[in-house]
Amino acid sequence: MLFQLGIGFLFAALIAFAAYRAHSLSRSGAWGALVEGSIIFGLGGWQWAVLLMAFFVSSSVLTRLFGKKKASLNEKFDKGGTRDIGQVLANGAIASIFAGLHFFFPLASWTWVMFVSSLAAVNADTWATELGVLNPSLPRLVTSWKTVERGTSGGVSLYGILAATGGAAFIALFGAWLGNSAVPSALFPAAVLLFAFFTGAGVLGSLFDSLLGATVQAIYRCPHCNKETEKHPLHTCGTETVQVRGWSWLNNDMVNLGCAMMGALIGMFL
Ligand SMILES: [Zn+2]
């Protein structure tokens, strides 16, 4: 066990360092990834690590490819393309917990189900955020169906939903393929069915994210630019933003954490 943890730590350190050098992770984000990676590699195993990498590599590549398109909306989003520890924990903490629990319950199948579903949800949300802004028409608020500006929390669009489905399916593919290898004693349903479950859990988890974004997430307004934004306390222009709705403690990271948790719960329920 110490050997596997050691190997896991080494792999996680290599990847966190490479991601830091490539500006995919900030310094704090790299530390967070090191901890999560060590747990997932070291206590889960290589199958668990493959899923983490599928999430991490695909979301970093998308950010790189389409980041320019989204850069014009940077004033809206709380954070930019370099992920910090808040984002790393929001996306990976729940998955790390279930990978760690697999070590203590090696025969249980629910650890894998909740691990995969949680990653499917955060991957769906990440893909939707990166690709949804490319939608030709303006997004609509998931609650009232009113058109809103691009990048508004809780806004959904056709491209965004397609991207979310693709993101969830991408993780679900690995989750269905590696299930029996990750937990050999588990009696999983047929791979096709398992794939559909994981995809469904991911998409529903990311819709929950949009729902929180449209209702209770803290949203601010910049009095200088007269625009809604997630940024607080300062807008990109340097003006202090004022809260217009939501709960002040519920920032974008907390919403993503909720998405990861909801994905895991829906996965278990399905
Ligand atoms: Zn401003």
Neighbours of ion ligand 1 (CB under 5 A): 222, 224-225, 235, 237, 239
Ligand 1 centre distance from Cα of residue 150 (Å): 16
Ligand 1 centre distance from Cα of residue 239 (Å): 6
Ligand 1 centre distance from Cα of residue 198 (Å): 40
Ligand 1 centre distance from Cα of residue 232 (Å): 11
Ligand 1 centre distance from Cα of residue 76 (Å): 10
Ligand 1 centre distance from Cα of residue 235 (Å): 5
pLDDT band at 75 (very low <50, low <70, confident <90, very high): confident
pLDDT digits (tens, 9 = 90+) for 91-114: 999 999 999 999 999 999 999 999
Ligand 1 centre distance from Cα of residue 230 (Å): 11
pLDDT band at 71 (very low <50, low <70, confident <90, very high): confident
Distance CA 116, CA 201 (A): 9
What share of the chain has pLDDT > 90, as a percent? Answer: 80
Q: What Rg, from alpha-carbon coordinates, does the chain have?
A: 18
**pLDDT value of residue 70:** 77
Mean pLDDT across 210-219 = 94
pLDDT band at 183 (very low <50, low <70, confident <90, very high): very high
Ligand 1 centre distance from Cα of residue 141 (Å): 22
Domain boundaries, the chain: 2-269
pLDDT digits (tens, 9 = 90+) for 4-29: 889 999 999 999 999 999 999 999 99
Ligand 1 centre distance from Cα of residue 250 (Å): 21
**pLDDT value of residue 11:** 93
Mean pLDDT across 131-155 = 92
Ligand 1 centre distance from Cα of residue 213 (Å): 20
